[in-house]
Structure 1
Amino acid sequence: MKVSLTGPRRATRLPPNNQAIIVEIKLGLKENWQQFVLLVLVNCLVGGMVGLERTIVPLVGSEEFKIASDIVVFSFIIAFGVVKAFTNLVSGVLADKLTRKRVLILGWIIGLPVPFLLAWGPSWNWIILANVLLGMSQGFTWSMTVNMKIDLVGPKKRGLAMGLNEAAGYGAVGLTALLTGYIAAQYGLRPQPFYIGIAYTIFGLLLSIFIIRDTRSYATLEASQVAITTSGERPHRPNLWWVFKETSIKNKNLFAVSQAGLINNLNDGMSWGVFPLLFVSAGVGLEGIGWIKAIYPVVWGVGQVVTGPLTDRVGRKPLIVWGMFTQAAGHVVIGLLLFSPFMSGMIGSVLLGAGTAMVYPALLAAVSDAAHPSWRASSLGVYRFWRDIGYAVGAVMSGIVAQLVGLVWAVHIAGILTFLSGVWVLMKMKERKPSFFSR
């Protein structure tokens, strides 16, 4: 018996009757929409795990555990950012050497204890441990949803794929942050707001084991079709150190992308720790803080449904530059409290979310444009390493600045760095429209 699906590549397997079934795969969103939709759902659950912490955990540190030092309160973000960054680096190598699905499952297994530790951990050290595990889990799970969607859709719809992936993840971050704020206002900071995290981890693990299929064969197919990438890279199998240097330093476009990613997540790390404490001190209640913390990732997430495909049409550089400038404007509104505290938080967070929505899919797509499919997962891992180090850099910067001159100045400095990062991309990054099949 012979079963053939339209597409340029065949994969042969033997059924119980030993008659070969030849299944041909094809790149494209339309051709692989079922698995793509399932991966979108998985990334909603992945993002929801981060949303558990956005509103509540800084207040757990300051109010329940009575931690007076801002740098100590922000230590959970530092732990999360550093661990996630290094896990991103490892996940890319594992994805290239093993399978995407195995790494995805590993990430969910590591994340299983997280909501329990957040809900019932008896000391701040247990919260730090939860964030170490969360950083590892996110590094594996989110990285794999990115790589698997890129594998499925091929080069033509890469921006759209990243827009939908990040929209799902960060939309879930925002909605979960809002939900935990409401639950905390009704029942207290712990344990009730973290119950939903238990459901997220169990459902995500089951989906990944029983429903999601591996996609490495799609990357192999694309690699066979690519003669040269937008940065002039030809097919080869470099080691991780080569990829690290190429992505971090040697390639000017990839350096511009990596520094922009770091500063972008510096903003997120700063807002994660600073905003709950800043707006509580300004008289905003838990529900109001929940809205401020939710609107940033919701706009960030939903906006990428538009900005993802837009970057396929207009290029990567315009969205990166104007996205960084829009984020800087958000810092101005919040740092100067141009309106009432709640309205300043909402308007500033909308600007931060809109700017990040412009930047995020364009950065991921720019890396994917420049890296050959044979080492693309490793290059994305290096980029995501630098991007997520931004969480830790933002938390450390915010903690030190807040201790010295106050929380508001942490917002101001983040805004200045964001503006300068956009200027760097404007001056140094060379825009090249994606073209993967020129030989």
Structure 2
Amino acid sequence: MSAVDGNPSFRASAISLGLRANWRQFALLVLINAFVGGMVGIERTVVPLIGSEEFGIASTTLVVSFIVSFGVVKAFANLVSGHLADVWGRKRVLILGWLVGLPVPFMIMWAPSWGWIVAANALLGVNQGLAWSMTVIMKVDLVGPKSRGLAVGLNESAGYLAVGVTAFLTGYLAAEYGLRPVPIYLGVGYAIAGALLSILLVRDTRDHVRLEIGDSPREAAAIGFWEVFALTSFRDRNLFAASQAGLVNNLNDGMSWGIFPLFFAAFGLGVERIGILKAVYPATWGILQIATGPLSDRWGRKGLIVAGMWVQAAGLFLTAATREFEFWLIGSLLLGLGTAMVYPSLIAAVSDASHPSWRARSLSVYRFWRDLGYAIGALSAGVIADIFGLSWAIGTIAALTFLSGLIAALLMRGSQPESRRTNDK
């Protein structure tokens, strides 16, 4: 038992909640999550093209199989990450995520067959499920209940801005030097830097959770994992609305990851311009979360979630219906704007509805459903594209995205951050 655990008065004086009190660790976690996002960014532009051009894969469903493996594995890694964080500690799970991710860029660079790419993405799913989950959970631990939207907004902003910047850089490098290996060198740097910073500088945040539990007006209920799973998945209407919206959000993201490069290339767009379109969406998503996260603290979560899903749907419909770069660029901007409205608001909404004692597990269940959307979106879009064409795949996912926003509008209560509520429910 540490001195902090054994002496509550010492813990209270040494540990405090809030961004100002914990800004050094918070900033470090923002940087680390940028490296986590960069690991996904190395794949956004070039990997679907590696499948179609280097390995000669004609089936869209087979090309997007790497996203299916990524999504399924990441979903289950998310599901166990909260429990592991409570049992082992946040830092250990973060380090484990990076150790699993270290081989990924090397496997992509040297893959002799498509099966290696699929296997690399399974490892990437573990890396993202553990490492990204921990950066989210640890930031929420550090800031306490008053600034969850801000914390999540900054975290997701760093991660997805890195996705966008890396997608652009890999597109540029691929146009200059080919699809492999040069664009993937970025991933080697991200993996090494993320692992070293996590091992050497990150501190665990479980003491911050203990402090928040002591200050919480809500009593902790002694509930197990499966009860948390049921609450988050379907029993609590706010948590259900958030989980289905998260799933559909990443369903359309998984579709865009695999289908957009093939769709744009089918109309003669070069890899560098594809890289621009693939970068605009996550970069817009990343930058705007700096604003939308704090706005959800002030305005509440529901309005941003519903409107964001409908803005996403508009961007997808525009992309499917047009054949010019300028309209595709507007569609990508709309998709990024809508996702920026939705992403931090959903995570903050789940945190609002969860007690600190089981918040990590609830977030893990939400992220399980959300990231299962990658696999469902890529697989369903691939099948639709093979049967009806790429435009139909994009349009179908757009309709599902609009429907998800309608479900959130009907079921979700007008949630406010915990600091602005007098009652939990």
Bin the TM-score by the shorter chain. Answer: over 0.9
Letter paired with 1:294: A
Aligned counterpart, 2:103: 113
Unaligned runs of 5+ in 2: none
TM-score (norm 2): 0.96
Contact 1:254 1:367 in 2 (8 A): yes
Q: Summarize the Cα distance change of 1:38–1:9 in structure 2 as closer, same or farther, 3 Å threshold.
A: farther
Aligned counterpart, 2:221: 236
Map 1:261-272; keep pairs closer than 5 Å: 261-272=246-257
- C-alpha deviation, 1:10, in angstroms: 4.1
TM-score (norm 1): 0.93
Q: CA RMSD in A?
A: 1.6
Indicate whether 1:134 and 2:124 are aligned: yes
Unaligned runs of 5+ in 1: 13-21, 229-233
Aligned counterpart, 1:45: 35
Q: Summarize the Cα distance change of 1:285–1:9 in structure 2 as closer, same or farther, 3 Å threshold.
A: farther
Map 1:15-414; keep pairs closer than 5 Å: 24-228=14-218, 234-337=219-322, 340-414=323-397
Aligned counterpart, 2:407: 424
1:130-164 per-residue CA deviation (whole Å, 9 max, x = no partner) reads: 00000001000000000000000001010000000
Letter paired with 2:321: L
Contact 1:227 1:235 in 2 (8 A): no
More helix by share: 2
Contact 1:284 1:341 in 2 (8 A): no
Take 1:39 and 1:23, find their aligned partners in 2: how far apart are those partners?
A: 23
Take 1:9 and 1:71, find their aligned partners in 2: how far apart are those partners?
A: 56
- C-alpha deviation, 1:237, in angstroms: 3.3
- C-alpha deviation, 1:78, in angstroms: 0.2
- C-alpha deviation, 1:341, in angstroms: 2.4
Take 2:193 and 2:376, find their aligned partners in 1: how far apart are those partners?
A: 32
1:253-288 per-residue CA deviation (whole Å, 9 max, x = no partner) reads: 100000000000001000000000000011111110
Q: Secondary structure at the match of 2:14?
A: strand
Take 1:430 and 1:119, find their aligned partners in 2: how far apart are those partners?
A: 47
- C-alpha deviation, 1:434, in angstroms: 2.3
Percentage of matched positions with identical amino acids: 60
Contact 2:286 2:340 in 1 (8 A): yes
- C-alpha deviation, 1:252, in angstroms: 0.7
Take 2:379 and 2:10, find their aligned partners in 1: how far apart are those partners?
A: 49
Take 2:197 and 2:222, find their aligned partners in 1: how far apart are those partners?
A: 32
Take 1:24 and 1:111, find their aligned partners in 2: how far apart are those partners?
A: 34
- C-alpha deviation, 1:197, in angstroms: 0.6
1:268-321 per-residue CA deviation (whole Å, 9 max, x = no partner) reads: 000000000000011111110000000000000001000000000000000000
Aligned length: 418
- C-alpha deviation, 1:438, in angstroms: 4.7
Take 2:130 and 2:382, find their aligned partners in 1: how far apart are those partners?
A: 28
- C-alpha deviation, 1:58, in angstroms: 0.3
Letter paired with 1:224: G
Take 1:11 and 1:113, find their aligned partners in 2: how far apart are those partners?
A: 42
